[in-house]
Amino acid sequence: MNRRCLLALALLLIVAAQASAAPGDGIPGDADGDRVLTPAEYTAAALTYLDAAYMGGAGELTRTDIQDAAWISACWDGRPREVTDSSGRTVTLYRPLRRVVTFNGEALETLRSLGFDMEKVVAVDKYSKEKSTFFPECREKANVGSIWSPDMEKVLAVRPDAVFLYATISTAACDDIQRKLEASSPGIRVFRFDCFKPATYPREIRTIASMAGKSERGDEFASFYTSTMDRVRDGTAGVPADERVRVYFEYWFDYKTVAAGSGYNEKLELAGGMNPFAGETAEYPIIDPEAVIVTDPEVVVKLAGQGLAFGGYAGHDIAALEGIRTALAQRPGWTSIAAVEDNRIYVIHSDILGGAQHFIGTAYLAKWFYPDRFADLDPHAIHQRYLTGFQGIDFDLASEGTFVYP
Amino acid sequence: MSLPANHLLCIALLLMVVPAAACASPVTRSLSTAEPGAGEVFTVSLSIEGMTLGGVVETLPAGYAFVATDLADDRVLARGQQVAFAVMNDSRITYQVRAPASGSGDITGRWEDFLGESDGQVAASHVAADGIEAPVESGGGDPVPPPSQETGSPFAVLAAVAALLLASGRGGRR
């Protein structure tokens, strides 16, 4: 065996040894086993650890044990944390999260909003990994694929203590992943959150914050989020149903729109829009081009993103979004519709309307639909504050990315 | 398998420099006197910054004896020449030490920030009874080296492995 092989073997042994301590149930240092780490028990545990680590004493607490005990004492008041996720399932945590895998990019983003130590995210879904501008710290993390094509071997190889999956979308795929994980490694805690739905996001923020020991930050972020959404709701509350702005919302693909049940329709209606195609059977129906002209929308909103790959965090390409808008206005028969006559065609990128950032896009919609009611609403400033104050990324909207036009 | 001296030096430097650079010490020590009289009790003060929950282990020179501390009894453990303190939001911990009839040496220390997940050394403080540099009269307990295995800094481990691989690769091209 040559020197390189020996060194590689040594490295593997080091990594394996460092990773071998799998935490079980019970709080480390809870001497009487009553599931509460009292200050006295914590102090005794700290001294026992220091004695064993530095003074030649006996004791079985590892460095990870005492770090976890300190964390639980400081963040969870010495008690295990019961977490009820968005699937309604309750899981009890006896240790802080140390090795997290996310299949849900929105949950990953929420963890970062909460100031979670991203070093403790050991693997992410392939889409988050591809978003290297927005998640630069994920470039080197393991890729566990997607919920539809998960790399279960990779998941198990990174030895997670927690895995985040979606709660209410793609439930069959997520249920399958959860079953496999729980069958192969009962120590893995599976959490189901969506993190993109206005109805549940504030509660999810606080729940995840509580798990991460970031309750104060969770309150701050939830207030920031809620203040924007409440501003939109309050601003449109007084608009009678028959006076709501008629909006044609077009998905990435031509004449593919949204209907009731889709997330985009929910945000459109939150912003006070009236979707003439809300009653279609499919969530994302393809409609007859003539139908758009017949409904005579007052506002047209076109979605850019994955299927119409311009703008977003990855590209500062205003001309591309402008081109999309121009092409819409030139569609056959559209010159007579109100939105074109009044120059109320807008392009928005799914980065700020479809995921955890939906509150930013919703603010834009509200401002477009009711410019007088939302004259003081500044979605651009909200967006920048989110990036700088909560995401903690160095991204200047003045010179980077393109999210709306005009 | 042997490595050239310059490679070994490189590894040693990495092991020393990387952990030190990774975290500045939140614990500093001061003494009421560095030249206590024979048998005199003097005070050692540890100033602690930014450590919510953690620990400090002090090692006294042989012949010097721990006397008391301002911390509650259940937050202190003395064994031989070593004293452990459980740090809980403390900005200052003081303790008293009795000097021997003669003898000099260093008070050394290690700290760990359990929440911050970092650790390091407290800079040594030299003491000499009556100001006279003299060998200790009786042996004290040897300080136990800092914990290894999982307690080893990942920076140090990675740096060492990287240095070894680098050294190995460079050697192989010759």
Residue B68 maps to which CATH number? 2.60.40.740
The two domains A81-213 and A218-405 share their CATH topology (first three levels equal): yes
- Asked if A51 contacts B79 with a C-beta cutoff of 8 angstroms, the reply is yes
- The type of residue at A303 is L
The CATH architecture of the domain made up of A81-213 is: 3-Layer(aba) Sandwich (3.40)
Residue tagged 């003491």 (tokens): B127
Helix axis angle, A358-369 to A263-270, nearest 10°? 50
Residues ≥6 apart with Cβ < 8 Å to A119 = none
Which stretch, A300-309, A386-395, B140-149, has highest mean pLDDT? A386-395
| Cis omega (within 30 of 0) for bond into B143 | no
Confidence of residue B164 (pLDDT cuts 50, 70, 90): very low
CB contact under 8 A, A67 and B52: no
CA distances from A257 to A149, A169, A249, A263, A351 (A): 27, 19, 6, 12, 18
Checking ipTM against 0.90, whether it exceeds it is: no
Residues 29-48 of A with CB under 8 A from B: 39-40, 42-44, 46-47
In the prediction, which pLDDT does A302 show?
Answer: 97
**Chain B positions in Cβ-Cβ contact with residue A17 (cut-off 8 Å):** 149-150
Structure confidence by residue, pLDDT tens digits, A13-64 = 333 333 333 445 799 999 999 999 999 999 999 999 999 999 999 989 999 9
* Domains identified in chain B, total number: 1
CA distances from A256 to A43, A102, A151, A282 (A): 62, 30, 32, 11
B7 assigned to some structural domain? no
Nearest to A4 by CA among B170, B5, B174, B158: B170
CB contact under 8 A, A50 and B157: no
Higher-confidence position of A168 and B158: A168
Residue ranges per structural domain of chain A: 23-79, 81-213, 218-405
CA distances from A121 to A163, A166, A395 (A): 10, 17, 22
B161 assigned to some structural domain? no
In the prediction, which pLDDT does A310 show?
Answer: 85
B10 assigned to some structural domain? no
B4 CB within 8 Å of a chain A CB: no
- What does the block give as tokens for A188? 């893995």
- Asked if A369 contacts A245 with a C-beta cutoff of 8 angstroms, the reply is yes
- Asked if B4 contacts B167 with a C-beta cutoff of 8 angstroms, the reply is yes
Of A17, A43, A63, Cβ closest to residue B86 = A43
CATH class for the region spanning A218-405:
alpha beta
Residue of B114, B115, B150, B166 to mutate, testing the A interface (most A Cβ within 10 Å of its Cβ): B114
DSSP letter assigned to residue A290: H
Confidence of residue B5 (pLDDT cuts 50, 70, 90): low
